[in-house]
Amino acid sequence: MPTTDKTREILAAALKVFARYGFKKTTMEDVAAEAGMTKSNIYFYVAGKRELYEHAIRNALIQWRDSVAEAISEKEDAVEKFRVMASMSFEYLSHQQDLRSILIMDPGIFTLSHAEDRFYEINQGAMLLIKDILLQGISEGRFYEVDVEHTTEFLFSIYIMFLIKTYVKSEGSSTFRMYEEGTALILRGLCRKDT
Protein backbone atom coordinates (compact mmCIF):
# COMPACT_ATOMS: atom_id res chain seq x y z
CA MET A 1 0.00 0.00 0.00
CA PRO A 2 2.10 2.88 -1.30
CA THR A 3 1.25 6.38 -0.09
CA THR A 4 0.21 7.68 -3.48
CA ASP A 5 -2.07 10.65 -4.11
CA LYS A 6 -5.09 8.41 -4.59
CA THR A 7 -4.33 6.81 -1.26
CA ARG A 8 -4.30 10.21 0.41
CA GLU A 9 -7.65 11.05 -1.16
CA ILE A 10 -9.10 7.83 0.19
CA LEU A 11 -7.68 8.48 3.65
CA ALA A 12 -9.19 11.98 3.68
CA ALA A 13 -12.56 10.66 2.57
CA ALA A 14 -12.40 7.88 5.13
CA LEU A 15 -11.59 10.28 7.98
CA LYS A 16 -14.57 12.42 7.09
CA VAL A 17 -17.03 9.52 6.83
CA PHE A 18 -15.74 7.71 9.91
CA ALA A 19 -16.08 10.99 11.80
CA ARG A 20 -19.75 11.19 10.83
CA TYR A 21 -20.90 7.59 11.32
CA GLY A 22 -18.25 5.93 13.47
CA PHE A 23 -16.37 2.78 12.58
CA LYS A 24 -19.22 0.33 13.01
CA LYS A 25 -21.91 2.22 11.09
CA THR A 26 -19.63 3.25 8.24
CA THR A 27 -19.75 0.95 5.22
CA MET A 28 -17.05 0.61 2.64
CA GLU A 29 -19.61 1.94 0.15
CA ASP A 30 -19.93 5.12 2.20
CA VAL A 31 -16.19 5.63 1.94
CA ALA A 32 -16.17 4.76 -1.75
CA ALA A 33 -18.99 7.23 -2.48
CA GLU A 34 -17.15 10.00 -0.59
CA ALA A 35 -13.97 9.18 -2.51
CA GLY A 36 -15.83 8.98 -5.85
CA MET A 37 -15.15 5.36 -6.73
CA THR A 38 -16.59 1.91 -6.24
CA LYS A 39 -15.94 0.00 -3.07
CA SER A 40 -14.11 -2.81 -4.81
CA ASN A 41 -11.56 -0.31 -6.03
CA ILE A 42 -10.81 0.78 -2.48
CA TYR A 43 -9.27 -2.65 -2.01
CA PHE A 44 -6.72 -1.85 -4.65
CA TYR A 45 -5.26 0.70 -2.24
CA VAL A 46 -6.03 -0.53 1.27
CA ALA A 47 -6.07 -3.94 2.89
CA GLY A 48 -9.43 -3.74 4.64
CA LYS A 49 -11.88 -1.68 6.61
CA ARG A 50 -10.05 -1.84 9.93
CA GLU A 51 -6.71 -1.06 8.26
CA LEU A 52 -8.27 1.89 6.43
CA TYR A 53 -9.62 3.26 9.70
CA GLU A 54 -6.35 2.95 11.59
CA HIS A 55 -4.40 4.34 8.65
CA ALA A 56 -6.64 7.40 8.40
CA ILE A 57 -6.22 8.13 12.10
CA ARG A 58 -2.49 7.45 12.00
CA ASN A 59 -2.20 9.97 9.20
CA ALA A 60 -4.02 12.66 11.18
CA LEU A 61 -1.93 12.01 14.28
CA ILE A 62 1.32 12.29 12.37
CA GLN A 63 0.29 15.65 10.90
CA TRP A 64 -0.49 16.81 14.42
CA ARG A 65 2.87 15.74 15.79
CA ASP A 66 4.76 17.24 12.87
CA SER A 67 3.11 20.64 13.12
CA VAL A 68 3.99 20.76 16.82
CA ALA A 69 7.57 19.80 16.03
CA GLU A 70 7.76 22.61 13.48
CA ALA A 71 6.43 25.18 15.93
CA ILE A 72 8.98 24.11 18.51
CA SER A 73 11.86 24.35 16.06
CA GLU A 74 11.13 28.06 15.61
CA LYS A 75 12.15 28.77 19.21
CA GLU A 76 15.69 28.79 20.60
CA ASP A 77 15.17 28.93 24.35
CA ALA A 78 14.34 25.67 26.15
CA VAL A 79 11.75 27.35 28.37
CA GLU A 80 10.11 28.96 25.35
CA LYS A 81 10.14 25.64 23.56
CA PHE A 82 8.46 24.03 26.55
CA ARG A 83 5.72 26.66 26.60
CA VAL A 84 5.09 26.41 22.86
CA MET A 85 4.98 22.63 23.01
CA ALA A 86 2.55 22.67 25.94
CA SER A 87 0.10 25.12 24.43
CA MET A 88 0.35 24.10 20.79
CA SER A 89 0.04 20.35 21.27
CA PHE A 90 -2.96 20.87 23.53
CA GLU A 91 -4.90 23.37 21.44
CA TYR A 92 -4.25 21.76 18.08
CA LEU A 93 -7.23 19.41 18.40
CA SER A 94 -9.72 22.22 18.83
CA HIS A 95 -9.23 23.01 15.12
CA GLN A 96 -9.60 19.38 13.95
CA GLN A 97 -13.28 18.65 14.05
CA ASP A 98 -13.19 15.27 12.28
CA LEU A 99 -10.44 13.82 14.41
CA ARG A 100 -12.22 15.08 17.52
CA SER A 101 -15.44 13.34 16.57
CA ILE A 102 -13.60 10.09 15.97
CA LEU A 103 -11.89 10.42 19.33
CA ILE A 104 -15.19 10.72 21.13
CA MET A 105 -16.64 7.68 19.40
CA ASP A 106 -13.43 5.68 19.86
CA PRO A 107 -12.00 6.67 23.27
CA GLY A 108 -9.40 3.90 23.06
CA ILE A 109 -7.27 5.98 20.69
CA PHE A 110 -5.93 7.86 23.71
CA THR A 111 -5.05 5.41 26.42
CA LEU A 112 -3.10 5.60 29.66
CA SER A 113 -1.70 2.13 28.96
CA HIS A 114 1.30 1.50 26.73
CA ALA A 115 0.12 -2.04 26.08
CA GLU A 116 -3.22 -0.84 24.72
CA ASP A 117 -1.74 2.00 22.67
CA ARG A 118 -2.44 1.34 19.00
CA PHE A 119 -0.36 4.37 18.00
CA TYR A 120 2.65 3.76 20.16
CA GLU A 121 5.31 4.56 17.54
CA ILE A 122 3.69 7.92 16.84
CA ASN A 123 3.51 8.73 20.52
CA GLN A 124 7.12 7.67 20.89
CA GLY A 125 7.93 10.44 18.46
CA ALA A 126 5.89 12.90 20.50
CA MET A 127 7.73 11.89 23.64
CA LEU A 128 10.99 12.51 21.87
CA LEU A 129 9.99 16.16 21.49
CA ILE A 130 9.56 16.42 25.26
CA LYS A 131 12.77 14.56 25.96
CA ASP A 132 14.85 16.79 23.67
CA ILE A 133 13.57 19.91 25.38
CA LEU A 134 14.40 18.48 28.80
CA LEU A 135 17.89 17.52 27.63
CA GLN A 136 18.49 20.96 26.17
CA GLY A 137 17.27 22.70 29.31
CA ILE A 138 19.44 20.52 31.51
CA SER A 139 22.58 20.87 29.40
CA GLU A 140 22.10 24.65 29.33
CA GLY A 141 21.82 24.64 33.12
CA ARG A 142 18.31 26.06 33.14
CA PHE A 143 16.56 22.88 34.31
CA TYR A 144 17.35 20.71 37.30
CA GLU A 145 19.05 17.41 36.47
CA VAL A 146 15.89 15.35 36.61
CA ASP A 147 15.53 11.72 35.60
CA VAL A 148 14.91 12.44 31.92
CA GLU A 149 13.26 9.15 30.96
CA HIS A 150 10.77 9.07 33.80
CA THR A 151 10.06 12.78 33.69
CA THR A 152 9.37 12.56 29.98
CA GLU A 153 6.89 9.75 30.55
CA PHE A 154 5.37 11.66 33.44
CA LEU A 155 4.82 14.78 31.37
CA PHE A 156 3.49 12.85 28.40
CA SER A 157 1.01 11.00 30.63
CA ILE A 158 -0.29 14.27 32.02
CA TYR A 159 -0.64 15.58 28.49
CA ILE A 160 -2.65 12.54 27.39
CA MET A 161 -4.79 12.83 30.51
CA PHE A 162 -5.71 16.39 29.61
CA LEU A 163 -6.52 15.45 26.04
CA ILE A 164 -8.91 12.81 27.38
CA LYS A 165 -10.49 15.16 29.91
CA THR A 166 -10.90 17.97 27.42
CA TYR A 167 -11.71 16.35 24.09
CA VAL A 168 -13.06 12.91 24.96
CA LYS A 169 -14.91 13.53 28.22
CA SER A 170 -15.64 17.15 27.28
CA GLU A 171 -15.18 18.56 30.76
CA GLY A 172 -15.89 22.27 31.16
CA SER A 173 -13.63 25.14 30.23
CA SER A 174 -12.05 24.88 33.68
CA THR A 175 -9.85 22.19 32.14
CA PHE A 176 -7.99 24.87 30.20
CA ARG A 177 -7.35 26.82 33.40
CA MET A 178 -6.15 23.62 35.05
CA TYR A 179 -3.82 22.94 32.15
CA GLU A 180 -2.30 26.41 32.34
CA GLU A 181 -1.93 26.31 36.12
CA GLY A 182 -0.48 22.81 35.89
CA THR A 183 2.10 23.54 33.20
CA ALA A 184 3.18 26.67 35.08
CA LEU A 185 3.61 24.61 38.26
CA ILE A 186 5.62 21.97 36.46
CA LEU A 187 7.80 24.47 34.62
CA ARG A 188 8.56 26.10 37.96
CA GLY A 189 9.53 22.68 39.30
CA LEU A 190 11.85 22.17 36.35
CA CYS A 191 13.62 25.56 36.32
CA ARG A 192 16.61 26.23 38.53
CA LYS A 193 15.85 29.88 39.25
CA ASP A 194 13.20 32.51 38.56
CA THR A 195 14.42 35.54 36.67
Partner DNA sequence: TATTTGAACAATTGAGTTATTTGTTCAAAT
Partner DNA sequence: ATTTGAACAAATAACTCAATTGTTCAAATA
Q: Which is nearer to a second copy, 73 or 170 (CB)?
A: 170
The least distance separating DNA from the CB of residue 9, rounded to whole angstroms, comes to: 10
Instruction: Out of 1, 3, 4, 114, name the contact with DNA by CB under 7 A.
Output: 4
> Residue 44 binds what, of a second copy, DNA, none (CB under 5 to 8 Å, by partner type)?
DNA
26 binds DNA (CB under 7 A): yes
Site for a second copy in 109-148 (CB under 8 A): 111-116, 144, 146-147
Among 6, 20, 75, 131, binds DNA (CB under 7 A): 6
C-beta of 18: minimal distance to a second copy in Å?
Answer: 23
Helix (H/G/I), strand (E/B), else coil: 171: coil
Say how far apart CA 149 and CA 130 lie, in whole Å.
Answer: 10
Q: What is the C-alpha to C-alpha distance for residues 176 and 114, in angstroms, rounded to an integer? A: 25
Q: What are phi and psi of 23, to 5 degrees?
A: -60, -50
Q: Which stretch binds a second copy (CB under 8 A): 44-52, 55-63, 65-73, 150-158?
A: 150-158
Q: Which of 160, 188, 38 is nearest to 103 (CA)?
A: 160
Helix ranges restricted to H, 113-165: 120-139, 148-163
Residue closer to a second copy (CB basis): 22 or 182: 182
Q: Which of 96, 75, 97, 98 is nearest to 86 (CA)?
A: 75
Amino acid at 163: L
Subset of 45-74 contacting DNA (CB under 7 A): 47-50
DSSP type of residue 109: G
Longest Cα–Cα distance of the chain, Å, equals 63
Q: What 8-state DSSP symbol labels residue 140?
A: T
Query: Which residues form the interface with a second copy (CB under 8 A)?
Result: 111-116, 144, 146-147, 150-151, 153-154, 157-158, 161, 164-165, 169, 171, 174, 177-178, 181-182, 185-190
Query: Which residues form the interface with DNA (CB under 7 A)?
Result: 4, 6, 24, 26-29, 37-41, 43-44, 47-50
